Amino acid sequence: MKNQFALLAVAVFLLIFAPYLSWAGNTKFDPKNINEVRGAAEQGDTNAQLMLWSAYGKGEGVTKDQVESVKWLRKVAEQGNPKAQSLLGDAQFNGIGVSKDYMEAAKWFTKAANQGDAHAQAALGFMYHNGSGVPQDKIESTKWFRMAADQGEPMAQFRLGVAYNTGDGVPKNTTEAVKWYRKAAEQNNPDGQYALGVSYGTGDGVPRDYVLAYMWINLAAAQGNPKFSKSRDRIEKLMTPEQIADAEKLTREWVPAVPPK
């Protein structure tokens, strides 16, 4: 298990703007009204500030300018909006529109996480795990992963499974690891699917089942990681033609679960 699981141990959480691009709703406006929108934003109107954040971030109606975009995002974050705080943490973590600053990122993620933002909670899980901007603390890391996982955040569910598999911040428990891999896998998270497939292939935390191992690893491989494809091919060599046909049928019929609201 340890050797097959190695590629998961080095998984890196890339924090990006994508999780919340649709959060702010309709932020488009007629470029002819830019002065009116800017005036409202300068008076503290959150909707206008979000319009400018989105417009400058995407280059819609104005020249794309990440520095200007983040300036308006910060104003929303400073008013206590957890999604804006989480996005500002992303910007500081990646150096988008501001200088890269892990301590500043952790500050904004913490503000958002304490208000229940699952993305920020997952981000803190990674930061405490790696010691980025905060002291390395596996117990604290697992705490934040669990909070995000309980809200249905699939990457946090996968990482909580990893923690149980390795005994990082929690007692080692492969059955519990499989439980969290499954939750992530059912939301079409490729790392969760791969980890669940590996568990079925090795019989670690679940009874060994090559058909289910192939199915889950095949689903993960379909999302483009060549390492997953190689693992599927290794499993295939252990299977009969009938088992392969069953696994392919399960793959075709599989439908991802609807994530919780």
Which of 6-15, 89-98, 111-120 has the weakest average pLDDT? 6-15
Domain-embedded: residue 223? yes
Domain extent at residue 196: 173-261
Average pLDDT, rounded, for the chain: 90
Domain-embedded: residue 79? no
For residues 78 and 84, give the distance between their C-alpha atoms in angstroms, rounded to a whole number. Answer: 9
Domain-embedded: residue 78? no
Q: What 3-state DSSP class applies to 214?
A: helix
Domain-embedded: residue 154? no
Span 179-206, pLDDT tens digits:
999 999 999 999 999 999 999 999 999 9
Distance set, CA 156 to CA 8, 30, 137, 189 (Å): 13, 39, 16, 10
For residues 48 and 43, give the distance between their C-alpha atoms in angstroms, rounded to a whole number. Answer: 9
- Using an 8 Å Cβ cutoff, are 90 and 109 in contact? no
User: Higher-confidence residue: 30 or 100?
Assistant: 100
Amino acid 97: pLDDT:
96
Domain-embedded: residue 7? no
pTM of this structure: 0.86
A 10 A CB-CB count for 185 gives 28
Domain-embedded: residue 150? no
**Is residue 202 packed enough to be buried (19+ CB in 10 Å), middle (13-18) or exposed (0-12)?**
middle
Domain-embedded: residue 207? yes
Number of domains in the chain: 1
Kindly state the average pLDDT of the residues 103-107.
98
Domain-embedded: residue 163? no
Kindly state the average pLDDT of the residues 36-41.
92
For residues 25 and 177, give the distance between their C-alpha atoms in angstroms, rounded to a whole number. Answer: 36
